[in-house]
Structure 1
Amino acid sequence: MTSTATITRDAPSTSFRFLPRIGLEVAFARSHESGSGAVAPVDQLWPQRMRSVVRAGLSRWELPELIADAELLVTELVTNALRHGRGDVGVRLSFINGHLRIEVCDDSPEVPEPRAAASLDESGRGLFLVQAVADDWGVTNNGMTTWCSLALSPLGRTQ
């Protein structure tokens, strides 16, 4: 049986499903004010909401050792999607070949690339954090999905 929950706000509704040991998906509509380097005030809570979803899913799947890293990764990828992407944002967690895979997609075909942030910059380090924390990461050929993975076995993780 698939459990479904709905999160609503003033914008279109958001829903997610927990599929035991298969994964979960969340999609939400961004404000038209987010993008082009800015995140609208109404969208600034989405990274926190996605951390809560990730924490709940990993707790349900009895994978507490992945929670901190997965929360950081989803925060960075969702923030990048809100700031630089366009259209709805989707978040997917799945299990592939002994790894938790985190995917964040939007409607922008622009391929995200790490950039060199100056020491006093308040942003610009997200993909460097993803590179540092994730076991692997990349972008799909169409540029619309940025993904990263974490090994499920603590023995497979480098600390």
Structure 2
Amino acid sequence: MLRTAGSDLESIEAVDALLVTSELVTNAIRHGGGITAFHAAVTDDGLRLIVSDASPQHPVPRPIDHEISGGYGWPLIQRLTDYIDITPQADGGKTITTHQRLS
């Protein structure tokens, strides 16, 4: 999808897009009770990701503790995207929508 949008797969933007995708999916699996929906779309000005999971709990940044693994994903998502929306779902889960520029 990124290649068809004209992105060089070795560009910083493409690497960042893959990192954000990986983190959203991993967080949904590890902390959200599993993925209930996933959609990725290239728009005129970037990449829109939509990931739904089974948990109503919003992601919460936690203090970085170098003695404990993890805690870096949500801050990375916040830093690398220019838009984040978290919407509760009727089934008790949530949907996280992000947008990230590709150029």
Q: Which has the higher helix share?
A: 1
Residue of 91, 98, 111 corresponding to 2:58: 111
Residue 39 (structure 2) pairs with residue 86 (structure 1):
no
Report which of the two structures shows the higher radius of gyration computed on alpha carbons. Answer: 1
CA contact (8 A) 2:60 2:74 kept: yes
Unaligned 5+ runs, structure 1:
1-56, 155-159
Task: List structure 1 segments (4+ residues) > 4 angstroms apart after TM superposition.
Answer: none
Report Cα offsets for 1:63-106 as digits up to 9, x if no partner: 22432011100111111001011244432112456231112111
Structure number with higher relative contact order (C-alpha < 8 Å, ≥ 6 residues apart) = 2
SS of alignment partner, residue 96 of structure 2: strand
TM score, norm. by length of structure 1:
0.53
Identity %: 33
- Residues matched between the structures, number: 97
Distance in 1 (alpha carbons) for counterparts of 2:38 and 2:70: 21
Unaligned 5+ runs, structure 2:
none
Shift of 1:117: 2.5
TM score, norm. by length of structure 2:
0.77
The equivalent of 1:67 in structure 2 is 14
RMSD (Å), alpha carbons: 2.1
